Amino acid sequence: FAPKLLAGHSILLTAGPTREAIDPVRYISNQSSGKMGFALAKAAADMGAEVTLVSGPVNLTTPVGVKRVDVISTQDMLEAVMRRVDSHDIFIGCAAVADYRVTEIANEKIKKSSTDMQLALVRNPDILATVASHNPRPFTLGFAAETQDVERYAKDKLVRKKLDMIAANDVSNPELGFNADNNALKVIWAKGQEDLPATDKQTLAIQLLGIVAERIAILKDD
């Protein structure tokens, strides 16, 4: 049971990996399972929010009461998010977005030869930073997965991407974070921070959204 702390709010969330095609049968992607994002979507719906979940390719069931939009590539995810950003007051970027895509997707399956080959890549847009720079902007929460200096890199990301809050996790521990069922988060905002110790992702999602609800209520009073 979760108290309806987010009643009256609408949350737009990204989850899972994005996938960048190389040719009709190959792609570049990452190990994200989407579990944290889906846990957040469920928790947000349980807490009374209207939830739209923009998800990359994952093997998870849509939580009850959550509107789901499926996308594959980063550019698709950006478009799906920007089309909906104005109708939501909270954005959570939980997706593990591919930082690069191939410069030109081959129309036919690339034939192997006996020599090595090079793949040309271009930078993908940053969905989270694009949302945070949008006017009017929703309350924007990002994630940071780091293997070292978690707090320093997370604080840097908070400022650089102009976020309201960042939830950082140490992915060097294989028991936590990427693809695991448990996670621990260091939640940081401009004027404070809070550590959420290791627990299952569903419990953590409720705790994290509790902090979001509290910060939004405080911002309203400011």
Figure out which of the listed residues 144, 165, 187, 216 binds ligand C5P, where binding follows CB under 6 A. 144
Do 201 and 183 contact (CB within 8 A), yes or no? yes
Q: Is position 178 an interface residue for ligand C5P (rule: CB under 6 A)?
A: no
Interface with ligand C5P by CB under 6 A: which range of 44-52, 95-103, 173-181, 187-195? 95-103
Q: Is position 56 an interface residue for ligand C5P (rule: CB under 6 A)?
A: no
Figure out which of the listed residues 127, 132, 180, 206 binds ligand C5P, where binding follows CB under 6 A. 127
Interface with ligand C5P by CB under 6 A: which range of 48-56, 89-97, 110-118, 212-220? 89-97
Do 119 and 102 contact (CB within 8 A), yes or no? yes
Q: Is position 208 an interface residue for ligand C5P (rule: CB under 6 A)?
A: no
Report whether 158 belongs to an annotated binding site: no
Do 150 and 186 contact (CB within 8 A), yes or no? yes
Q: Is position 126 an interface residue for ligand C5P (rule: CB under 6 A)?
A: yes
Query: How do strand 10-15 and strand 50-55 relate by DSSP bridges?
Result: parallel
Residues that bind ligand C5P (CB under 6 A): 14, 74, 93-95, 97, 99, 124, 126-128, 142-144, 157
| Catalytic annotation, residues | 30
